[in-house]
């Protein structure tokens, strides 16, 4: 069964304290992995797409990496405004064309940065 | 950018009534739109995939007669919750995808539905 697991469920950090969020996946065929940020009561906001093992992408204090089994979202010197829930999602191949692919979301990591 | 809007942002209704939620892609044409439901502290659960001009594809366990989806144009999809009950109370989020390739989805801000 295709599965996406995020850990930890919740994380509290002091401002400036770097850490990493994990997204591990077990899927039949990975088409792409996505990271989103979701603030309370709002829809997810796109951060990154990763397509192949070894790929890395950066945006401000965030860096996403991908292996064949998991992805990490590294946050460097976080600020209180980085507090949010971070969601990981995978696009799973269903057939040769991407049109029938499935999207599976993890439950997210609630990140709280203390000033 | 790629902006997706939803209307209304929140709605309270009585049990047994129907509620319509609109999802619009404002600055691009979305051939595929997705509808999700999210319970507190839970993940987004895909309800259905909607392609313009064709019937929606529902995920297993989602009642298509209860959650009516219409994708009338390349910029508008609607979700109607028919005969709503308290257990239908949730956060409903739509997303829109550009083209047919595996691009990232762009999400709407969500609609909070409360059924009394």
Q: Does residue B102 belong to the interface with chain A, where contact is any CB pair within 8 Å? A: yes
Q: Closest Cα to residue B110, out of B29, B37, B19?
A: B37
- Residue B43 and residue A103: Cβ atoms within 8 Å? no
Going B40 to B42 to B43 to B49, the CA torsion angle's sign is: negative
Closest CB to B101 among A34, A89, A98 = A98
**B chain contacts of residue A89, beta-carbon cutoff 8 Å:** 44
pLDDT at A23: 98
- Residue A108 and residue B43: Cβ atoms within 8 Å? yes
| Euclidean distance between CA atoms A108 and A8, whole angstroms | 8
Going B87 to B115 to B64 to B52, the CA torsion angle's sign is: negative
**B chain contacts of residue A29, beta-carbon cutoff 8 Å:** none
Specify the residue for token string 């191949």: A93
Tokens of B7: 């209307």
Q: Closest Cα to residue A105, out of B65, B31, B93, B11?
A: B93
Closest CB to A31 among B4, B45, B102 = B102
**B chain contacts of residue A42, beta-carbon cutoff 8 Å:** 109-110
| Euclidean distance between CA atoms A9 and A108, whole angstroms | 7
C-alpha A31: how far from chain center: 15
Q: Does residue A36 belong to the interface with chain B, where contact is any CB pair within 8 Å? A: yes
Residues A56-114 pLDDT 10s: 999 999 999 999 999 999 999 999 999 999 999 998 887 666 566 788 899 999 999 99
Average pLDDT over residues A7-32: 95
Residues B54-91 pLDDT 10s: 888 999 899 999 999 988 888 999 999 999 999 999 99
Chain B closest-CA separation from residue A63 CA (Å): 17
Q: Closest Cα to residue A107, out of A29, A4, A22?
A: A4
Residues B5-40 pLDDT 10s: 999 999 999 999 999 999 999 998 887 899 999 988
Residue of A nearest to B90 (CA): A41
- Residue B100 and residue A49: Cβ atoms within 8 Å? no
């Amino acid at each position: 069964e295709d599965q996406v697991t995020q850990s930890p469920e919740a994380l509290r950090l002091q401002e400036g304290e770097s850490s990493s969020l994990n997204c591990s996946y077990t899927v039949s065929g990975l088409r792409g992995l996505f990271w989103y940020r979701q603030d309370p009561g709002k829809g997810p906001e796109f951060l990154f797409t990763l397509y192949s093992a070894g790929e890395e992408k950066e945006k401000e204090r965030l860096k996403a990496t991908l292996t064949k089994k998991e992805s990490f979202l590294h946050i460097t010197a976080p600020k209180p405004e980085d507090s949010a829930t971070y969601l990981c999602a995978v696009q799973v191949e269903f057939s040769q064309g991407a049109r029938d692919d499935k999207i599976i979301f993890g439950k997210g990591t609630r990140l709280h940065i203390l000033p | 950018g790629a902006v997706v809007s939803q209307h209304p942002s929140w709605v309270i209704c009585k049990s047994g009534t129907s509620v319509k939620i609109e999802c619009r892609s404002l600055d691009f044409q979305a051939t595929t739109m997705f509808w999700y439901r999210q319970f507190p502290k839970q993940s987004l659960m895909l309800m259905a995939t909607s392609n313009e001009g064709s019937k929606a594809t529902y995920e297993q366990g989602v009642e298509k007669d209860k959650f009516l989806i219409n994708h009338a144009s390349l910029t508008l999809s609607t979700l109607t919750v028919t005969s709503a009950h308290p257990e239908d109370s949730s956060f409903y989020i739509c997303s829109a995808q550009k083209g047919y390739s595996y691009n990232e989805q762009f999400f709407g801000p969500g609609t909070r539905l409360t059924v009394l």
